Structure 1
Amino acid sequence: MSRPLAFVAITYAFAVAMMGTTMPTPVYSFYQAEFGFSVFVVTVIFAAYALGVLAALLAFGRWSDSLGRRPLLLAGVALGIASALVFVFAGSLTALLIGRVLSGLSAGIFVGTATVTLIELVPDKWRSKAPAIATAANIGGLGLGPLIAGVLVQYLPEPTHLTFVVDIGLLVVAGVAVYFVPETVTVARGARPHMQRLSIPAPIRGTFVRAAIGGFAGFAVLGLFTGVSPGFMTHVLGIDNHAVGGLVVFLTFASSATAQIAFRGLSAAFAMRAGCVVLIVGVSALCLSLLLTSLPLLVVAALVCGIGQGVTFSKGMAAVTAELPVDRRAEVTSTFFVVLYIAISVPVIGAGAAASAWGLVTAGVVFSAAVAALALVSLILLIAESRSHEQAN
């Protein structure tokens, strides 16, 4: 396979793999009705995905350096197919949890390995666009999952099966494409994979904390829109159209990807402060949309929150890695992602528990206030650090 075609093939596989991880979002309401799950149980099912991602990042994060890129990507595709098959035949809470963990393992493998593979395969004439393409495949794929699944669930039969059958078909094509892509690393004889170490070197701990707080707030919002927003739309706004619900989630991810690409030229310090402000505005709009039961406000909240999340994440990551030697970047980046995937799961489970106890509106308002407070803390720390730096100069 030629290099340009291989680059396109990996981009497709990356997007499809990430898409499969969010395709269950519009289907949760059907499981809730079929099995009698509470909102809390639905959030636990959603959050099981994060456990898989974390396990893959820690256990398999460096394996592609030892075993090669293709074997790991093929394993990621196989785990995605296994996850979809579990969902097709799922008849219990245990099966749904297993399906989500398998999906997370697939995503965790692709997040690291596919990004590196794209950079290694990119043709020279596209080299400057490689990071933007990787972002579009990753975040765009996550956004396309609820959008496509929402249309399938709303307008075609077998809502709890067809979505995952389509996912399997797309992943099979991705697996064939990956199989014919040339290997980009030379695998040494006897090379052994090892676990990814986590660490935060002392000189960058302040930068890491400031970036991680803003990133935590942003990923918590992503988790809320992906795991809980369908329930908000159905039970609070009275909107039963799953395609509309999928569109709202898509807009969150699409605005995140767009912001990461459009604002990549901004300085990290300024962009992180601006991202925190935008995130505060976004969750305030989310809070108002629940109190006023307004779909237009919810759409605005999705767009604004996505922009805030995209900027705080991408620029936070840039600020952390900029101060590191090359040989420490993998472990610190993995540590950063551990924080982010805790953010995408634990707060959402808390929101689910609060919704079961207090109702969806109250839970949403409390969650919005907590995220705004986190973003405000990050903003204050960033401003204080900037002033301290100016005084030192």
Structure 2
Amino acid sequence: MASVTALRSRRRLPVLGRRGAFRLHASALVALLAASSAPTPVYALYQAAWHFSAMTLTVVFSAYVLALLVALLTAGTLSDHLGRRPVLAGALLAEAVAMAVSAAAQGVPELIAGRILQGLATGVATSAAGAALLDFEAPDRPGRAAVANGIMPVAGMALGVLASTALVQYAPAPTRTVYLLLLVLFIAQAAAVRLTPETARTESGTWRPVRLLRFLQLLRPTITVAPASRPGLALAAPGIVAAWALGGFYSSLGPSLARLIAPHAAHATGGLVFFTLTAAAGLAGRAARALPARTVSLAGAALLIPGALLTLAAPHLHSLLALFAGTALAGAGFGGVTQGALRLLLRPAAPGERAGTLATYYALSYLAMSIPVVLAGLLTNLYGLQTSVALYGATVVALTLTGLIRAAHLPRKA
């Protein structure tokens, strides 16, 4: 018996320590969000090759977001029940398959199929990885996981746009190279997840046939927010909606706006618009770590207003400088809103409520990102890009002002 135990011990995979596991899950969030934004600079190449409209572009963009929403609402809590490790590893492998589909795309239908699969995988993976960051947070560094959950996604989006922009400019086969590199990364991360300890209190036997009904019940669409986190959500929700609506605008229509202002600028200019947004968001989120979460969230929402107004003015001024300045302000606001909101939501949540609360946050965020972008694409087709930008910006400003006024009347402890 002792020899069998020793053999099993030798066969057991090595386990990463707390610090290594934390870094691995942070890198997974970066990679997942890098993959979400990487196609942004490539869209111009797709449009030139396949001759589709701005409306088609927003449909491609929204296919990913809507698939992600479905995953968040149905499978966002899976890692709370089945374990962080199997759920995240499986989702990362699915993400790798999505990269393969996108790399092989020969037209819009295949591109949409790849983005749908990517959205489903990302929805499952982000909630699991984000919850794992909280599980592996060092006891002597409280709050680090909430900060990482706020910074790593926007840092990933910035890195994805920057790397993809460089590949579009300099690499061969730019519509394939970025996806193939991400494919290799996701496979490596899925393998590395097996080296981490399991932190969720799993339901034993969930995968057995007798547990099939319970598993299907877990996949019912649900909105789960930890009771202690609900006051924070009430405070931050308007800012979250406004920030992610602006993020969707810069991601999908930012390159088109740059071309409208400077038709002869390099292709890289369009991708740098979204990079500016996400880089400013990451820097602002990092700089605000020591400030109270409520202050960070509300200050970030306030910054969205001048950012949107300056972006609105850029086409009339025919100024790329105004566009990038407005984008940087909006990005700083985006970073403040997301970091403050996540701290308000995640700190009070119990371990078994973390993945569900994160899934709800992401569902609200991506819903706010997708619906306005589809409407903006439709308005662009009907009335032109400048009119669409004006209506979009005015709506974001009105929503932000409403949220700030409402927040002033909420209890101070919210």
Task: Name the TM-score, length of structure 1 as normaliser.
Answer: 0.88
Determine which of 25, 29, 33 is the counterpart of 2:44.
Answer: 29
Q: Do the aligned partners of 1:13 and 1:175 also contact (CA within 8 Å) in 2? A: no
1:215 paired residue number:
240
2:169 paired residue number:
154
Q: Do the aligned partners of 2:261 and 2:320 also contact (CA within 8 Å) in 1? A: no
- Count residues in correspondence: 388
Cα shift at 1:331: 5.1
Determine which of 76, 82, 91 is the counterpart of 1:76.
Answer: 91
2:273 paired residue number:
248
Cα shift at 1:126: 5.5
Once the two structures are overlaid, the 10-residue window that deviates more, 257-266 or 119-128, is 119-128
Q: Of the two, which has the highest radius of gyration?
A: 2
- Partner of 2:175, secondary structure, is coil
Determine which of 75, 78, 83 is the counterpart of 1:60.
Answer: 75
Equivalent positions of 1:312-331 (< 5 A) are 312-319=337-344
Counterpart Cα distance in 2 of 1:51 and 1:294: 34
Once the two structures are overlaid, the 10-residue window that deviates more, 8-17 or 99-108, is 8-17
2:133 paired residue number:
118
CA pair 109-288 structure 1, distance change in 2 beyond 3 A: same
Counterpart Cα distance in 2 of 1:127 and 1:236: 45
Cα shift at 1:129: 3.1
Q: Do the aligned partners of 2:226 and 2:350 also contact (CA within 8 Å) in 1? A: no
1:179 paired residue number:
194
CA pair 345-277 structure 1, distance change in 2 beyond 3 A: same
CA pair 331-30 structure 1, distance change in 2 beyond 3 A: same
Counterpart Cα distance in 2 of 1:379 and 1:35: 43
CA pair 54-120 structure 1, distance change in 2 beyond 3 A: same
Counterpart Cα distance in 2 of 1:182 and 1:169: 23
1:237 paired residue number:
262
Q: Do the aligned partners of 1:17 and 1:106 also contact (CA within 8 Å) in 2? A: no
Counterpart Cα distance in 2 of 1:201 and 1:188: 20
Cα shift at 1:357: 1.6
Identity fraction in percent? 30
* CA RMSD of superposed structures (Å): 2.8
1:283 paired residue number:
308
Cα shift at 1:208: 4.2
Give deviations 1:162-215, integer Å, cap 9, x for gaps.
Answer: 121222122222223223333333534223541362267999978645522221
Once the two structures are overlaid, the 10-residue window that deviates more, 20-29 or 209-218, is 209-218
Q: Which runs of 5+ in 1 are unaligned?
A: none
2:3 paired residue number:
none
CA pair 241-80 structure 1, distance change in 2 beyond 3 A: farther
Q: Do the aligned partners of 1:285 and 1:297 also contact (CA within 8 Å) in 2? A: yes
Cα shift at 1:277: 1.9
Does the alignment pair 1:106 with 2:121? Answer: yes
Determine which of 320, 338, 341 is the counterpart of 1:295.
Answer: 320
Cα shift at 1:121: 2.9
Determine which of 169, 184, 187 is the counterpart of 1:169.
Answer: 184
CA pair 288-121 structure 1, distance change in 2 beyond 3 A: same
Counterpart Cα distance in 1 of 2:247 and 2:311: 12
Once the two structures are overlaid, the 10-residue window that deviates more, 51-60 or 202-211, is 202-211
Cα shift at 1:242: 3.4
Q: Which runs of 5+ in 2 are unaligned?
A: 1-14, 207-213
Determine which of 236, 251, 262 is the counterpart of 2:287.
Answer: 262
Q: Do the aligned partners of 1:269 and 1:382 also contact (CA within 8 Å) in 2? A: no
Counterpart Cα distance in 1 of 2:251 and 2:138: 34
Cα shift at 1:150: 0.6
Determine which of 13, 16, 20 is the counterpart of 1:2.
Answer: 16
Counterpart Cα distance in 2 of 1:89 and 1:47: 20
Q: Do the aligned partners of 2:85 and 2:194 also contact (CA within 8 Å) in 1? A: yes
1:20 paired residue number:
35
Task: Name the TM-score, length of structure 2 as normaliser.
Answer: 0.84
Give deviations 1:315-349, integer Å, cap 9, x for gaps.
Answer: 34444667878876765554443322111101011
Determine which of 365, 377, 384 is the counterpart of 2:402.
Answer: 377
Query: Counterpart of 2:404 in structure 1: which amino acid?
Result: L
CA pair 62-320 structure 1, distance change in 2 beyond 3 A: closer
Counterpart Cα distance in 1 of 2:358 and 2:22: 24
- Partner of 1:345, secondary structure, is helix
Does the alignment pair 1:85 with 2:100? Answer: yes
CA pair 160-330 structure 1, distance change in 2 beyond 3 A: closer
- Partner of 1:160, secondary structure, is helix
Does the alignment pair 1:132 with 2:147? Answer: yes
